[in-house]
Homo-oligomer: A and B are copies of this chain.
Amino acid sequence: MEEDREWLTKCHTRSLYAGESLVDYEDLTKDVFLVQSGEMRAVLRFSVGKEAILGTFRRGDLMGELSAIDDLSRSASLMAVTDAVVTVIPYVVFHDILRTCPGVTRALMQLLSLRIRAMNERVSELSFLDTKHRLYNALLRLSRSRGDGGGERIISPPLVHAELAEHIGSSRETVSREMSRLIREQLIERTSRAIVLKNPVELSRRISKALEG
């Protein structure tokens, strides 16, 4: 559509180095971002080593929409995990698009709805599971199907233990101990490029059991 082209001319791209921050917690900026390449992360940092990872974003994912919607300051920092490129959609353009495209508004509401569901699950996980089962749950949540019909799932690029610890609110030492145990049990395998979940069904079964207990 002609409108599409007009909007595009009002957006620009921004490149980030791994580790660079795009938005800081409580910033007053309101632009919205679309990931073109690389991996970005929404993070709440309290002090050195105390970070909660709230979300991970890859090609095609929208980020930073909350401040554009409710006009409040940034709820978290957005930082590049790898080198990344994002499209910056200025606040005014974002609202122009919403005003003229009911389909986009609907898709955005669905996205927000899914984010709330994911957060609900995370709150439950953190409320009721001990560290070991929170780790199993995070491994399942962060992995994707290998897509070869074998039922294995992978996390690639692999997360280091300190990052997994931030996902589940635990320490690196505890995560390392549990990961070693999972490797011994042949439930996971670690390569230089991925963490492979060899038997995701067994991990799910253990979580269900812990929740019922």
Check if A59 is an interface residue, CB within 8 A of chain B: no
The size bracket of the interface on A is 35 or more
Contact B76 A120 (CB under 8 A): yes
What's the least CB distance linking A127 to chain B, in Å? 3
A126-B169 contact in complex given A50-B211, A102-B99, C-beta closer than 8 Å: yes
- A110 contacts partner chain B, Cβ-Cβ < 8 Å: yes
Say how far A168's CB is from chain B's closest CB, in angstroms.
8
Which B-chain residue is minimally distant from A72 (CB atoms)? B117
Q: Contact at B119–A123, with CB atoms within 8 Å?
A: yes
Chain B proximity mask over A53-73: 1 for CB below 8 Å, otherwise 0:
010000000000110011010
Cα separation A113 to B76 with both chains bound (whole Å): 13
- Interface pair B120/A120, CB less than 8 Å apart: no
Q: Please indicate which of the listed interface residues A47, A75, A76, A120 has the most CB atoms of chain B within 10 Å of its own CB.
A: A120
A213 within 8 A of partner (CB): yes
A-B contact pairs, 25 of them (CB 8 A): A46-B128, A46-B211, A50-B128, A50-B211, A52-B127, A52-B128, A66-B117, A69-B110, A72-B113, A72-B117, A75-B116, A75-B117, A76-B120, A99-B102, A105-B105, A109-B109, A112-B112, A115-B116, A122-B123, A123-B126, A126-B126, A126-B169, A127-B168, A127-B169, A128-B169
Q: Which are the 4 A-B pairs with shortest beta-carbon distances?
A: A127-B169, A119-B119, A126-B126, A112-B112
Q: A residues touching B (Cβ–Cβ < 8 Å)?
A: 44, 46-47, 50, 52, 54, 65-66, 69-70, 72, 75-76, 99, 102, 105, 108-110, 112-117, 119-120, 122-124, 126-128, 168-169, 211-213
